[in-house]
Amino acid sequence: MNQFEELCLKTKEIAKKAGAFIKEQQSKIKADVIETKGMHDFVTYVDKTAEELIVSELKKILPEAGFIAEEGTETYRADRFNWIIDPLDGTTNYIHGFSPFAVSIALQENDEIVLGVVYEISLAECFYSWKGAEGAYLNGNAIHVSKANTVDASLIATGFPYYDYDLLKNFMATLEYFIINSHGVRRPGSAATDLAYVACGRFEAFYEYSLQAWDVAAGSFLVKQAGGAVCDFKGGEDYIFGKEIIASNGLVQEEFKSVVQKYMLK
C-alpha cells in the first residue's frame, strides 16, 4: 500500500463520517439557520460544522498539509500538500430536501491532484481513487467511463449559473444544441457528483462555468483515473482554479469540446 492509497482510504472514511452528520441534520434545517454568502449562494451550520470535522480529521492523517476549503474553516496554505474541500456540494439541494449532495475532498501535491473522494450522501455512494491506483472505485468496485463514442449517443450533465450571468446567452445556446443532438441534458445540482457520474459511466460528459476548485478537484481526478478526459473551455489544463471545466469519457471529448467552444468562447 503506497502513501496515497493509505491516505485515500482514510479520507473516504472521513468523508463518510461527515456525510453521516450531514444526513442526520437534514431534518433540522429551517429557514432561520440558512445564511446567504452571495446571490443564491447558501450556507448553513451543517456546512460549517462538517468542514470543521473534516479539517480536524485530515490534520490527524497529514499534519503538514494546508487547506483550501469552501467555508474557510482553515486558511493555511502549505508549500507541498494542500487539501481541497467542499464539505457539502449541493447545499441548495440539501436545504430543499432534494438530491444529490456530496462531500468532496481532494489532496493536491504541488500542482498535481493525488487523491480524490466524492461521497454522495443520499445514496451512500463513495467514489475514490489515488495516484498509483489502477483506476477508480465506487464502494469497493472498480468503475470506468462509458463507451459511447458520439455526442448523439451521450447523456450530458451541466450546472446552471446562479450569480455570473455574463455568458448566459452563450450557455443557453449550448443547451439548445445538446438538447437536440444528444440523449438529453441533466442538471443535478452538485458538480462533484456530476463528475463522479461521468467517472462511473452514468453521464458521458459534463461542463460548467463559474465553478470553484473545491467543486471540481476531486471529481475531475476521478474522471481521469476512470479513463476519461478533462480540460478547460480552451482545451487547456486550467480547470481546477480556472472556474470552467469540460469532462467526458474521452471518446466524445473532441466533439463535445468543439461544441462548447463554438458557443462559450465567442
Model pLDDT for residues 220-249, shown as the tens digit of each residue: 999 999 999 999 999 999 999 999 999 999
Q: Return the pLDDT at 34.
A: 66
User: Closest by alpha carbon to 55, among 120, 99, 109, 11?
Assistant: 11
Rounded Cα distance, 247 and 224, in Å = 9
Q: Which residues contact 261 (CB under 8 A, 6 or more apart)?
A: 233, 234, 235
Per-residue confidence at 146, pLDDT binned at 50, 70, 90? very high
Q: Return the pLDDT at 33.
A: 64
> Are residues 26 and 44 in contact, defined by beta-carbon separation less than 8 angstroms?
no
Model pLDDT for residues 155-191, shown as the tens digit of each residue: 999 999 877 788 999 999 999 999 999 999 999 999 9
* More reliable by pLDDT, 26 or 246: 246
Q: Enter the pTM of the model.
A: 0.95
Complete DSSP assignment for 12-32: HHHHHHHHHHHHHHGGG--GG
Q: Which residues contact 213 (CB under 8 A, 6 or more apart)?
A: 68, 84, 240, 241
- Percent of the chain beyond pLDDT 70? 95
- Residue ranges of alpha helices (H) inside 138-244 are 168-181, 191-199, 213-225
> Are residues 220 and 212 in contact, defined by beta-carbon separation less than 8 angstroms?
no
The sign of the torsion formed by the CA atoms of 165, 167, 172, 174 equals: negative
Which cell numbers hold the place of 25? 441534520
